[in-house]
């Protein structure tokens, strides 16, 4: 009979060596320890996950809002560039609101240009006063209550300049908490210290905050 064979009478294997007994004991102990997690262990895991989420979610939202604000100001910058090109090619006039909207829609097909207050996202409100010498562009950053304004005045004394400036130039402004309503085309950023609205500025970095 070979060493690995069983006894033919009772089919009982030869006695295990001491090394084999240790192995069986080790396997039995492992099986006893793998019954599952205790309630305390599960609670600790849930607590750790909660802490990680509390840290990660605000960071994610802040990053997302920052990206949406950058997208809104970038859209306004592109729209202003196209509007100024229209002005130069239209006998130095912004024409009418509808005419400018038509031109901007052709230049920027991925954006929606409106004559009314814009909804959040890829929407820009356009307003041209009767004399065609200035234009107001307004956008609301997606997922926020922040409205961005750019008011371009081409001639001194132009009608309808929302920033109140009598001199030609481009002014930038922000309303950081517009409230429940839409971004207004008639009441934009006010003087500094008004709370939710900052001052108009000739600088993008200062006006768009």
Residue 27 in domain: no
Residue 111 in domain: yes
pLDDT at res. 59: 66
Q: What is the mean pLDDT of residues 105-118?
A: 92
Specify the number of domains making up the chain.
1
Task: Output 93 or 186, whichever has higher pLDDT.
Answer: 93
pLDDT at res. 199: 72
Residue 10 in domain: no
Residue 123 in domain: yes
Confidence of residue 101 (pLDDT cuts 50, 70, 90): very high
Q: pLDDT tens-digit profile of 140-159?
A: 988 888 889 999 998 876 76
Confidence of residue 192 (pLDDT cuts 50, 70, 90): very low
pLDDT at res. 178: 72
Q: What is the mean pLDDT of residues 158-176?
A: 78
Residue 88 in domain: yes
Q: pLDDT tens-digit profile of 11-27?
A: 555 555 555 566 666 66
Q: What is the mean pLDDT of residues 20-40?
A: 65
Question: Which of 31-35, 99-103, 160-164, 182-186 has maximum average pLDDT?
Answer: 99-103
Q: pLDDT tens-digit profile of 44-68?
A: 888 888 887 777 666 666 666 778 8
Residue 29 in domain: no
Q: What does DSSP say about strands 123-127 and 134-140: parallel, antiparallel, or unpaired? A: antiparallel
pLDDT at res. 167: 76
Q: In which domain, by residue range, is 166 found? A: 39-207
């Amino acid at each position: 009979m070979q060493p690995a064979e069983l006894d033919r009478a009772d089919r009982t294997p030869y006695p295990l060596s001491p090394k084999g007994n240790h192995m069986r004991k080790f396997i039995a102990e492992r099986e006893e320890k793998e019954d599952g997690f205790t309630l305390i262990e599960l609670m600790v895991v849930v607590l750790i996950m909660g802490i990680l989420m509390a840290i990660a979610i605000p960071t994610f939202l802040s990053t997302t809002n920052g990206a949406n604000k950058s997208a809104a100001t970038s859209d306004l910058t592109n729209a202003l560039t196209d509007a100024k090109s229209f002005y130069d090619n239209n006998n130095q006039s912004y024409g009418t609101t509808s005419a400018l909207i038509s031109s901007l829609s052709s230049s920027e097909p991925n954006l929606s240009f409106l004559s009314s207050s814009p909804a959040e996202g890829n929407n820009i409100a356009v307003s041209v006063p009767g004399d065609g010498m200035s234009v107001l562009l307004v956008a609301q950053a997606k997922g926020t209550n922040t409205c961005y304004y750019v008011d371009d005045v081409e001639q001194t004394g132009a009608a309808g300049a929302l920033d109140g400036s009598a001199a030609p130039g481009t002014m930038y402004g922000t309303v950081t908490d517009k409230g429940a309503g839409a971004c207004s085309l008639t009441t934009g950023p006010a003087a500094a210290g008004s709370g939710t609205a900052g001052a108009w500025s000739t600088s993008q970095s200062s006006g768009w905050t």
